[in-house]
Amino acid sequence: MKARGLLKTIRKMDPSERYCYNPKLRWNPQVEDYFINAYGYDHFSRISKALTRPSCYSCIRVNTLKTTSDAIIEKLCTILQPSGSESAADGIKNSISKCEIPGLDSVIIVKGSGPHTIDYGYASDADRPPKEVIVSRKCGEAVLRGAQVFVPGVLACSAHVEKGDLVAISVAIEQPGVDCGWGLGITRGTVVQGSHTDPHYFERHGLYIGQGETMMSRAGIFRVSKGVAVDMNNRIFNLPSFHDVLEGEIFLQNLPSVVTAHALDPQKGERILDMCAAPGGKTTAIAILMKDEGQLIAVDRSHNKVLDIQNLAAEMGLKCITTYKLDSLKAVCQMNESGRDSDITKQSSEPLSFNGVIFSPISSEKLKAETNSKGNISNEKANERAYINKADIGKNMQRMRNGPGRNQCVGGRVNSKGFCPNNFDRVLLDAPCSALGLRPRLFVGKETVESLRNHGKYQRRLFDHAVQLVRPGGVIVYSTCTINPGENEALVRYALDTYKFLSLAPQLPRVGGPGLVGHFEFPDGYTEEWLRPGEEEFVQRFDPSSSLDTIGFFIAKFVVGSKE
């Protein structure tokens, strides 16, 4: 009887209630209580809803060392202009403008639109659902930002789908499993019947993100490993794609990230450290603000990410950036037995020998040749000689026999010596975080109170290193892309209470809102302290539910006093 009643309810369901976009984030109950305490129930509900939607505009940072904002606007109007009426062309021109925030005249705003209502062609009288493609959550989030549906993101598809068919795109979200974990439970290649027996049928209610034309048949989608599976021509949110557009002249970047580089206020000729630099957006923004004059050290612990930073710097024509593969928790060098430091920027030029074979440090020309042979581009700061320790001698011998490997490219060397204390004028710590401010976000279930607190512990360790590396009179800027006060205001509280020579500094431009004042007491008795009255106006908190329509973000700026 219950099953019959369920089928009857399904048949009576208004298709517009199912075939729409109305997601709801499923938070861990303890995490939800924590955020409700911080923001209040109504405010957190608005934040949670905003996180499921992309910003309705794209923020483009112009490389002012190569071009101007006016020139870029003119080029974008030509590139994005649709074929058709003059009114459509005028609409494009009206959607592109300079950012009106004082000090951010190098930023261009391109307006999008949405959410739109889409007719998926559900024939209720014939009980015939539309042909459908189910995509993974990460693929769905990318589509909401303007991407196409690529083959690796497709999980399931209706039967008898041929090239050129019009299909509805729905998203499968991770669900709780029997072992308290999260998973999809969908075998790739599953046939979608359009009935309640389909995988995640009820969970996909309100998770339809648009309509598109298949670029290959169902068999082709699950036979090949790459390519566009569906060309999205009817989207819930219309945001232009800037993939491969004006490379080297523009960089697509969230507004708060642009503000972060400005808050650091880098000056020509300074020595600056970007501690967690990948993928290089803030690094290159800082270099441009420095007029590409000075020394900007960018480190990351991932070899591939370091190469990405180098490629981006080369693409934008920036020469003041030096990259290192280095864990920022090992960024402060240790004194040797003679009491001398071992800064990794001081590199040996003495030849090394092993079993009678003499090796010289790798020259910049050889590094460039090897890097380019792998399709990687090094920036000009690779002209410095690369340090080779004794442990690398054997690897060099093998390389001479077998040819260069990936780890011999620029940025591939592990160096744990770090930098001297008090070595930088300014330090940016854009810390790894829970990323609970990124948009659009369709899944947050894995985050627990414990995992959020662990993020905070890791960030405090990174901040300890930042404090040691910056000189007295210098500046530290700390930023995250999360709404979690435990990774934001709590870090500021830790910094001010632990290092009495630190003080909060005003930031320009002032775009975000004030920080959170107060504290939270966890069930285990631990009290997390946030800001105190009077401190909230010194930080910038970007609220995804505010009229700015940005990602969730946080920026704090510290001035370093005497460390004596």
| Annotated binding residues for S-adenosyl-L-methionine | 276-282, 300, 327, 430
For 68, phi then psi, to 5°, come to -125, 160
Measured CA distances, 475 to 257, 468, 499, 556 (Å): 17, 12, 14, 11
| Bridging pattern class, strands 502-504 and 519-521 | unpaired
- Rounded distance between C-alpha atoms, residue 309 and residue 416, angstroms: 20
Amino acid identity for residue 551 in this structure:
I
**Residue 219: CB partners within 8 Å, gap ≥ 6?**
none
Per DSSP, the three-state class of 140 is helix
Q: By C-alpha distance, which of 153, 137, 156 is closest to 218?
A: 156
List the binding residues: 276-282, 300, 327, 430
Given the residues 20, 99, 333, 481, select the one marked as catalytic: 481
Within 10 angstroms of residue 390's Cβ, the number of other Cβ atoms is: 9
Q: By C-alpha distance, which of 215, 238, 241 is closest to 228?
A: 215
Whose tokens are 């300014």? That residue is 426
**Residue 504: CB partners within 8 Å, gap ≥ 6?**
492, 496, 535, 538, 539, 556, 557, 558, 559
CA angle, 437 then 441 then 442, to 5°: 145
Whose tokens are 């009206």? That residue is 94
Taking each helix axis as running N to C, give the angle between helix 489-498 and helix 449-469, from 0 to 180 degrees, rounded to the nearest 10: 40
Q: Examine the residue annotation and report whether 481 is marked as an active-site residue of this protein.
A: yes
Within 10 angstroms of residue 140's Cβ, the number of other Cβ atoms is: 27
Contact predicate 342/281, CB 8 Å: no
- Could you list the beta-strand ranges (E) of 48-99: 57-62, 96-98
Residues annotated as part of the active site: 481
